[in-house]
Amino acid sequence: MSSNIQSSESLLNAKPEEPKLVTNLRGIKNKIMVMSGKGGVGKSTVSANLAAALADRGYSVGLLDSDIHGPTIPKMFGLENERPLVSEKGIVPVKVNDNLKIMSIGLLLDSNDSPVVWRGPAKMSAIKQFLEEVDWGVLDYLIIDLPPGTGDEPLSISQLIGNLTGAIVVTTPQAVALTSVRKSLNFAKIIEVPVIGMVENMSGIVCPHCDEKIHVFGSGGVAKAAEDFGVKVLGTLPIETEVASTGDSGNVHIDIKRDSEWYIGFNKVVDAVEEFVK
């Protein structure tokens, strides 16, 4: 009789087992989403360079490519032919260097040309697996490269993780992009994720002949949107051909000239992220 009572008391006092996702992400100090209202604004370029720059500064960084239909992160690091291993702790993310590792659906496809023809539930299952089954270990930062828009993937990431450090919103200066990015800023507000700030990408191009800056997509709109929503503009990044070529060649953040306007502007973004998490 007494043993049955003790057994019942033990069950009542037992703590519920934590979800595997919670325990798997416990070693990650900061989780940052990089998002945009529309495609083609350079969101993955910002994500990849942010992860690489933080790793260069000595932080332990993971980069999750959550764009199921258009994964580009493996290509940008020259790892599109690599495949992740599996250990007793889970899926082992692919190592870029001692401080940076990545995971992407692009690392799991039979061919780089294979399309992912999935509906919502399959995509959500894959994203959950990336968070729950990948052995991220102890990280200072997990940078999450989101697909464009405010649909399934961003919503699932925010709901699954639940305690995101913040979001960076990437846009280009033209009005069409800003129409969408304002929706992203409202989306972050709805899901209660702090906005670290906005990055104005493709902010003009410097003429190689006269050094005059040409505002191909206009100017002023990003600053206005930031003012309207009470967020910061972390950096304005011009169009520079070598930035695009580093991604195409798999040398993200390696071959960019340290005295270029883009590099100087991007370092301000990285500085702002460091300051925000402090």
**Residues placed in the known binding site for ATP:** 37-44
What's the CA gap between 96 and 202, in Å, rounded?
Answer: 27
Q: How many CB atoms lie within 10 A of CB 266?
A: 24
- 71 φ, ψ to 5°? -70, 130
Residue carrying structure tokens 């008391």 = 9
What's the CA gap between 200 and 36, in Å, rounded?
Answer: 11
User: Quick one: tokens of 46?
Assistant: 């910002």
- Residue ranges at the known binding site: 37-44
The string of DSSP letters for the chain reads -HHHHHHHHHHHHPPPPPPHHHHHTTTEEEEEEEE-SSSSSSHHHHHHHHHHHHHHTT--EEEEE--SSS--HHHHTT-TT---EEETTEEEPEEEETTEEEEEGGGS-SSTT------HHHHHHHHHHHHHTB---SEEEEEEEPPSSSSHHHHHHHHHH----EEEEEE-SSHHHHHHHHHHHHHHHHTT--EEEEEEES--EE-TTT--EE-TT-SSHHHHHHHHHT--EEEEE---HHHHHHHHTT-TTTSS-TTSHHHHHHHHHHHHHHHHH-
